[in-house]
Structure 1
Amino acid sequence: MRKERIERASLYSEVTKRIIAELEEGRLPWVQPWDSAACGCTMPQNAGTARPYSGINILILWAEGIARGYASQRWLTYRQTEAAGGNVRRGEKGTVICYADRFTPKAEAEAARGEDREARQVAFLKRFVVFNVDQCEGLPEDYIAPMVGPDPVLAIGAADALIAASGARFNIGGGEAFYSPSHDFVAVPPQAAFHEPVNWYRTALHELGHNAVTQIMPHRGEKARLAA
């Protein structure tokens, strides 16, 4: 029981630190011109069963997906990856999540029946490791195919050329738009998720501006980004 409490406290502490780190990087709410519901797999879910993760696991997987720049929030255990015919790429590190529940020990159930009372349940916390589908290879197409079409609805040549010329690492996918200074990449949702396609370019260039400030004035980039 004491070990379980220590493990739970440790896991909660890890998640809290990661959330604080996200806030310190300036990922603050602003007017959102896209529909998160149209961004494939915004909520973390198991790629094999399509079952959504819950509780603290949502925060853990959200934070990991943002930090690593994964294109989706689909995850698998090592065994599920193998069962699907794929494999985890060599050198990839998994993400630890947890399963919390309660059970009634057999001895307690028997004792409760003999004493005509309700059996006491015992809480448990089990950790296990999952991998994002981006960390795997050889998976079936339906495990990794985007839920929103990748083809742009609108193409603005000059803006596309500017994005390409910036040299920034540019990830398209998920339901959030941000620039991560610590990992040096820009992320924006798919263009098809935006109510007005032109707002995809406005959002992309807004985040690209944070990247430019950090590259040109690394010491002032933090203040400028937080003030935006």
Structure 2
Amino acid sequence: MSQTPEQKKSRFQLSREVQEEFVNGIAQTMLSLAENAEQGQPSVAETPFCPVTGKEYSGANMVRLTLTAMEKGYADNRWLTFKQLQAVREEHPDLNIRIRKGEHGVTVLRPEDVFFTVEKEGKWNFVSEEQAKGLPDVRRHTLLYPFTVFNAAQIENFPAREQPAPVITEAERNDLLERFVASSGVAVEHGKGVPRFDHKTDTVRLPHPENFHSSGDYYAAKLREFFKATGHRSREARQPVKAQTLKSCAFEEMRAEMFSMLAGAKFGLPMPEHGSAERLRLWNQTFSGGESRALFRAASEAARALTTLRQFEAGEQPAARWFPKREAWPELMEMQKQRDAVTGVSFREKTGSDVPRPAPGNTASRSLSESVRAFEETDDLTVKARLILQNPDFLNMALRLDPSATRELAALCDQVSQALHMELDEKLQSAPGAVENPLPLNEQKAASARRMRM
């Protein structure tokens, strides 16, 4: 039975609700994983695929299933629908295959494009894809439909995997990641400060490998900052052309966090930074409601970056348009070796498993000095704000410095405070029912500075 335009339009609302529920599930799973990681519980998972079709799940679906497998501790990467399970049961009638009592599936999404025209009176006229080809002014919209899948670990008597996943050693992993980042053309320089990506110079900046707890921590940080580099205007161009806002920076951090978890699951890497759980709680509060489409896109972009890495691992030319062609890889790797040599970093230091651990008593002072250097090296207020948020003891410790350093820090905090308050005031003024601030702009700035000093 055909549906009226009004009934058809309700599918858009349903799609939005399904998408919001989906990304909320991803966010909650990420938070759970971050909390477990801070308790020293590593999580690993392979790329999810369907054993019936033989195809891997991709995009945001791959993100959700991978994170769920990490959270639940599933050692099996096979996922299938109830209907597909019935087909497997028919092939093996003697195995008594069934979903374990009390188990719940995971919702993933199937995209479907719908085509329609809008008539003069505003009526929507839905057409098929074939009909749309011959019509002018046809609009297309992608709707998302939910379906449920179960992991093989949730199913009793499910046939064992025919081919176990290949085992990669730590040295092989490190060598692969070293070659991948170098072949991507993303420059990496080692020195002082915290791990970060410098947008102005298009360079990933890292501390020396010996400053990390292990080679796994080093490569976790390296991949996280590498992902940020993929958002540069010369590659994916994810960052806005105009000045970055706190929201755009936070979205990039969320993407990087997703990619870090996916890469960690693939290669057994730890969380690259402390405080992930607290940042995720903040992002969940900031972006709850109205941002589901952006977060869904962020998940898809994180999955695409991991696909690029997996294609390189398989010896293929990555499909990403920005990734250099194979013939350029040797030269790019040699250029990175030269950069490493200039800063005194050897390939052996980075790929070996015996990365020296920092002295136990120097962690706090090193964190403070690195934060101070990072403050001095950047003019980006959002970066300064992020450094404060990532270093809870930073302000308290800085107050013990000499008076001149304290005054400089106070001036920087004033600038950050003004930027934050101005963005918040601008957002409040643009909201429905907002009351215009009667104070002149210069007085508003002064008020912001006073609030920071109180």
Q: 1:8 aligns with which of 14, 19, 22?
A: 19
- How many residue pairs match? The answer is 143
Alpha-carbon shift at residue 69 of structure 1 (Å):
1.3
SS at match of 1:80: helix
Give the equivalent residue in structure 1 for 2:86: 82
Give the equivalent residue in structure 2 for 1:59: 63
Alpha-carbon shift at residue 68 of structure 1 (Å):
1.6
The answer on 1:72 being equivalent to 2:76 is yes
Please give the alpha-carbon distance, in whole angstroms, between the structure 2 residues aligned to 1:45 and 1:13: 22
Alpha-carbon shift at residue 53 of structure 1 (Å):
0.6
Contact 1:103 1:122 survives alignment (8 Å): yes
Please give the alpha-carbon distance, in whole angstroms, between the structure 2 residues aligned to 1:107 and 1:149: 49
Residues 58 and 128 from structure 1, CA distance in 2 versus in 1: closer, same or farther, beyond 3 angstroms? Answer: same
SS at match of 1:121: strand
Look at both structures and tell me which one has the larger radius of gyration over its CA atoms. Answer: 2
Deviations 1:146-199 (A, max 9, x none): 51489xxxxxxxxxxxxxxxxxxxxxx986477xxxxxxxxxxxxxxxxxxxxx
Please give the alpha-carbon distance, in whole angstroms, between the structure 1 residues aligned to 2:266 and 2:100: 22
Q: Tell me which amino acid in the other structure corresponds to 2:28.
A: K
Alpha-carbon shift at residue 18 of structure 1 (Å):
1.6
Please give the alpha-carbon distance, in whole angstroms, between the structure 2 residues aligned to 1:113 and 1:72: 43
Runs of 5+ unmatched residues, structure 1: 29-38, 151-172, 179-201, 203-228
Alpha-carbon shift at residue 10 of structure 1 (Å):
2.3
Task: Give the percent of matched residue pairs that are identical in Structure 1 and Structure 2.
Answer: 24
Residues 146 and 93 from structure 1, CA distance in 2 versus in 1: closer, same or farther, beyond 3 angstroms? Answer: farther
Residues 135 and 70 from structure 1, CA distance in 2 versus in 1: closer, same or farther, beyond 3 angstroms? Answer: same
Give the equivalent residue in structure 2 for 1:99: 110
Deviations 1:101-127 (A, max 9, x none): 31336843598678x415322321111
Please give the alpha-carbon distance, in whole angstroms, between the structure 2 residues aligned to 1:64 and 1:94: 10
The answer on 1:128 being equivalent to 2:139 is no
Pairs within 5 Å for 1:22-37: 22-26=33-37
Residues 125 and 112 from structure 1, CA distance in 2 versus in 1: closer, same or farther, beyond 3 angstroms? Answer: closer
Give the equivalent residue in structure 2 for 1:183: none
The answer on 1:108 being equivalent to 2:108 is no
Please give the alpha-carbon distance, in whole angstroms, between the structure 1 residues aligned to 2:164 and 2:86: 23
Please give the alpha-carbon distance, in whole angstroms, between the structure 1 residues aligned to 2:165 and 2:133: 55
Q: Tell me which amino acid in the other structure corresponds to 1:104.
A: F
Give the equivalent residue in structure 1 for 2:52: 48
TM-score, length of structure 2 as denominator length: 0.28
Please give the alpha-carbon distance, in whole angstroms, between the structure 1 residues aligned to 2:98 and 2:22: 27
The answer on 1:138 being equivalent to 2:157 is yes
Please give the alpha-carbon distance, in whole angstroms, between the structure 2 residues aligned to 1:98 and 1:107: 22
Runs of 5+ unmatched residues, structure 2: 1-11, 90-96, 117-124, 168-264, 271-352, 354-454
The answer on 1:119 being equivalent to 2:123 is no
Contact 1:96 1:128 survives alignment (8 Å): yes
Q: Which has the bigger relative contact order, CA under 8 A and spacing at least 6?
A: 1
Contact 1:98 1:125 survives alignment (8 Å): yes
Q: Tell me which amino acid in the other structure corresponds to 2:88.
A: A
Q: 1:21 aligns with which of 32, 35, 40?
A: 32
Please give the alpha-carbon distance, in whole angstroms, between the structure 2 residues aligned to 1:6 and 1:177: 34
Q: Tell me which amino acid in the other structure corresponds to 2:49.
A: Q
Q: Tell me which amino acid in the other structure corresponds to 1:49.
A: T
Contact 2:18 2:145 survives alignment (8 Å): no
Contact 1:94 1:130 survives alignment (8 Å): yes
